[in-house]
Amino acid sequence: MRYLLGTLAGGSLLAGPVHAQDFVELAPSSAWAMNYDDDSCALQREFGEDEDRVYLELRQFGPDTSLQVVVAAKNYRTRRWNFELTFGPGFDEPLDIDALNLSLNEGYQGKLFSFEPSRSGPGSELVRNAFLTSTRFFTAEEKAILMEGFGLDPETQRSRRFWSYEDNVELLNRFRTVFERSAALENYLQSFESGVETLSFHDAFNQDFTLQTGKLRAPMEAMRTCLDELLTHWGIDAEAHKSLTREVTPENRQDVLRIMQRDYPGEMLMERRPGDLRVRMDVSAEGEPTACHLQTGFSDESFERTACQNLMRVARFLPALDAEGEPIASYHQFHVMYRVQ
């Protein structure tokens, strides 16, 4: 991902007040391009012409539904961190997005954020809750715990406290392992990806705009093919990972989070520079971390290297289990977004 030549900005790049404008409709000016990186796969496309040119990238770091999104413009200036993203047509409710500002090469300014259709896509909550209610993989008590956690506002102290308990986190990870391989989620993703034709950005830049992406189903199928090849490149059995009964699970998540928070460089903090850290750890069938790989290129490299070194020293895991319940070699990814208020 270093080829993006991107740096994270510490605040809004906007010099003065801006008033809302009508949305500019931007048609594609290039086809979708698939980027096969060493540690990720990315769909990239440009929209608009001349002063309205906008770059869009959808990147995945493994075969889940989480997307890292970069949207950048050459002549539109970024606004505050928070903005609204609306999928169209037919998806009326906008999503509130918390993003980091980016400075890219060739004078482009943009936004970096994560979006996970299975957790925050339009209507995904109803699909998730219906699956939890009907599945036989969990007891009534476990379902009640998960429903309680799902019902909490993630921005509250109560939610953070609820998900700080290792038993709750382990239960959530088991649920995600089952749900993300379910026919219910596959049907939802097919409907969502086939229905989306536009992405509208409000308050992200000093000009609101709509990207006419076209249906996303075919591009995302190409993404999934790339991700299967990526696992093979990592030495992972891609087919076995489609039917895991347990993904790699950290045994000491709170210790890991404390280490990752402690490692944030003082100079970056003093300069109010945000950071976006993604690492992938190879984990053996015995649950031992065997390697740590940096997956992003937006933070200070020495900070990333230090984080990897400390994770190798501190992190402990339960290994992944295949369809027969046997431990197999796999991986685990950590993602932390640092933002200085």
pLDDT tens column, 188-231: 999 999 999 999 999 999 999 999 999 999 999 999 999 999 99
Q: How many residues does the chain have?
A: 341
Q: Tokens 């939802």 identify what position? A: 188
3-state secondary structure 10-60: CCCCCCCCCCCCCCEEECECCCCEEEECCCCEEEEEEECCHHHCEEEEEEE
CATH of the domain at 291: 3.30.1150
179, containing H or E segment:
helix 166-179
Domain holding 151, by residue range, is 121-185
Amino acid at 209: F
Query: In terms of DSSP bridges, do strands 41-47 and 33-36 run parallel, antiparallel, or are they unpaired?
Result: antiparallel
The stretches in the chain having pLDDT less than 50 are 1-6, 10-20
Q: Are 111 and 36 found together in one domain?
A: yes
Q: Are 39 and 95 found together in one domain?
A: yes
Q: Are 200 and 95 found together in one domain?
A: yes
Q: Are 253 and 205 found together in one domain?
A: no
Counting the structural domains of the chain, the total is 3
Structure confidence at residue 281 (pLDDT)? 93
Q: Are 111 and 211 found together in one domain?
A: yes
Give the DSSP letter of residue 279. Answer: E
Establish if 240 belongs to a structural domain.
no
3-state secondary structure 201-246: EECCECCCEEECCCCCHHHHHHHHHHHHHHHHHCCCCHHHHCCCCE
Percent of the chain with pLDDT over 90: 54
* Helix 183-195 × helix 217-233 angle, to 10°: 130
User: Chain centroid to CA 160: how far?
Assistant: 19
Structure confidence at residue 263 (pLDDT)? 64
Q: Is 121 helix (H, G, I), strand (E, B) or coil?
A: coil
Residues 292, 311: contact at Cβ < 8 Å? yes
Establish if 242 belongs to a structural domain.
no
Establish if 150 belongs to a structural domain.
yes
Q: Which two tokens stand for residue 175?
A: 């649920």
Residues 6+ apart with CB under 8 A from 134: none
Q: Rounded to an integer, what distance in angstroms lies between the CA atom of residue 217 and that of residue 322?
A: 28
Query: In terms of DSSP bridges, do strands 327-328 and 320-321 run parallel, antiparallel, or are they unpaired?
Result: antiparallel
* Helix 124-134 × helix 183-195 angle, to 10°: 170
Q: Rounded to an integer, what distance in angstroms lies between the CA atom of residue 202 and that of residue 85?
A: 7
173, 174, 179, 181: CA torsion to nearest 10: 100
Q: Which two tokens stand for residue 107?
A: 């004078």
Q: Rounded to an integer, what distance in angstroms lies between the CA atom of residue 276 and that of residue 10?
A: 12
Establish if 166 belongs to a structural domain.
yes
Structure confidence at residue 24 (pLDDT)? 95
Structure confidence at residue 298 (pLDDT)? 60
Structure confidence at residue 22 (pLDDT)? 87
Establish if 85 belongs to a structural domain.
yes
Q: Are 321 and 176 found together in one domain?
A: no
Structure confidence at residue 132 (pLDDT)? 96
What would you report as the CA-atom Rg of the chain, rounded to the nearest whole angstrom?
20
Answer with the one of 185, 212, 241 that is the final residue of a domain.
Answer: 185
Q: Are 28 and 164 found together in one domain?
A: no
Establish if 244 belongs to a structural domain.
no
Q: Among candidates 79, 77, 97, which has minimal Cα distance to 87?
A: 97
67, containing H or E segment:
strand 67-73
Establish if 264 belongs to a structural domain.
yes
Residues 198, 213: contact at Cβ < 8 Å? yes
Q: Are 9 and 61 found together in one domain?
A: yes
Q: Are 226 and 331 found together in one domain?
A: no
Structure confidence at residue 11 (pLDDT)? 43
Establish if 239 belongs to a structural domain.
no
Amino acid at 179: F
Structure confidence at residue 306 (pLDDT)? 80
Q: Are 154 and 199 found together in one domain?
A: no
Q: Tokens 């970056």 identify what position? A: 268
Q: Are 228 and 253 found together in one domain?
A: no
Give the DSSP letter of residue 77. Answer: P
The Cβ-side half-sphere exposure at 212, using a 13 Å CA radius, reads 9
Q: Are 89 and 26 found together in one domain?
A: yes
Structure confidence at residue 279 (pLDDT)? 87
Burial 188-222 (b: 16+ CB within 10 A, else e): bbeebbebbbbbbbbebbbbbbbbebeebbebbee
